[in-house]
Structure 1
Amino acid sequence: MLDNVTFEYAIIRLVPKVEREEFFNIGVILFSKRKKFLGLKYCIDPKKLAAFSSEIDIAEVESYLKAWKSVCQGNPSGGLIEKMEVSDRFRWLAASKSTILQCSKTHSGLCTNPKETLEGLFELFVL
């Protein structure tokens, strides 16, 4: 138990038609303050997307998610958000949005390895 650290996570949702409020899970963001870890994993299922909407360009959505991944990595030569503290970047990513990419409420837990926990949550909620 001594190796356990707290973490927070949010599920990334794709909301193809915001006005309908229908969504499906495409990824997970996980933050651990003690481990100074902020990670994101995603996968967009083209068949699910086609079932929700034929109007969404999967490449465009992936470009947004790559930008989110860049925020997670915290590139010092990047934009203002990428230069923020790890906790602030997580809060920015997990904040309530009204776009086609939204996050669930944040949840917390204990883990020993945030990267492995991110993988497990991804398998549980996305795959």
Structure 2
Amino acid sequence: MPTAIYDYAVIRAVPRVEREEFVNVGVIVSCQSTGLLEAGIELDPARVRALDPHVDLDTLRAHLEAIATICRGGPGSGPIGALPPRARFHWLTARRSSIIQVSPVHTGRSADPASILDGLLDRMVRVGRAGNGESGSGKR
């Protein structure tokens, strides 16, 4: 299989926007050549509560699920979910000042587009996995 070029952004929980502290909680991946638009979300409540013990985790979870729903598109994904995948990716990765923010968009390439999301979650979100320089339980 030829190498696929993809774009990704890391999803960040920013419980106190004024402090600009964040925890990586997911990744959005777009591969135009394969039609891939997918979000992987792995919220670690303890890490987010370390930044703000009073954070509303139910609201945070609902907004994170909305990102995954928009990526999937189709019924229930609202007007943004009706846009073409690339337009949805750009809408999801637009800069905003809220409890959920995304990193700048980065580009990569892979011979196995199906494995991109899991590899990025390992490197950018999951604690205690090889390659992310952090230690911890690695629970999913």
TM range (shorter): over 0.9
Deviant stretches of 4+, over 6 Å: none
| Structure 2, unpaired ranges of 5+ | 127-140
Alignment of 1:1-127 (within 5 A): 3-76=2-75, 78-127=77-126
3-state SS, counterpart of residue 91 of structure 1? helix
Q: Deviations over 1:78-117 (max 9, x none)?
A: 4210100100000011110100000000000111233311
CA distance in 2, matches of 1:11, 1:28: 4
SS of 2:117 mapped into structure 1 = helix
**CA separation of 1:13/1:78 partners in 2, compared to 1, >3 Å: closer, same or farther?**
closer
Structure 1 Cα separation of the partners of residues 112 and 89 of structure 2? 18
In the superposition, relative to structure 1, how do residues 77 and 17 fare at CA in structure 2: closer, same or farther (>3 Å)?
A: closer
CA–CA distance in 2 between the matches of 1:116 and 1:90?
Answer: 18
Q: After alignment, is 15-24 or 55-64 more displaced?
A: 55-64
Say if 1:15 and 1:101, in contact at 8 Å, map to a contact too. yes
Matched length: 126
**Deviation for aligned residue 1:52:** 0.5
Q: Deviations 1:61-87 (Å, cap 9, x if unpaired)? A: 111111111110111564210100100
Q: How many Å apart are 1:27 and its aligned residue?
A: 0.5
The TM-score with structure 2 as length reference comes to 0.85
How big is each residue's C-alpha offset from its partner over 1:1-42, in whole Å with a ceiling of 9 and x where there is no partner?
x61111000000110000111111111000000000001001
Q: Runs of 5+ in structure 1 lacking a partner?
A: none
Contact 1:31 1:39 (C-alpha < 8 Å) held by counterparts: yes
Partner Cα separation in structure 2 for residue 105 and residue 10 of structure 1: 6
DSSP 3-state at the match of 2:2 = coil
Structure 1 residues 77 and 57: alpha-carbon distance in aligned structure 2, compared to 1, 3 A threshold: closer
CA RMSD of aligned residues (A): 1.2
Question: Identity of paired residues, percent?
Answer: 35
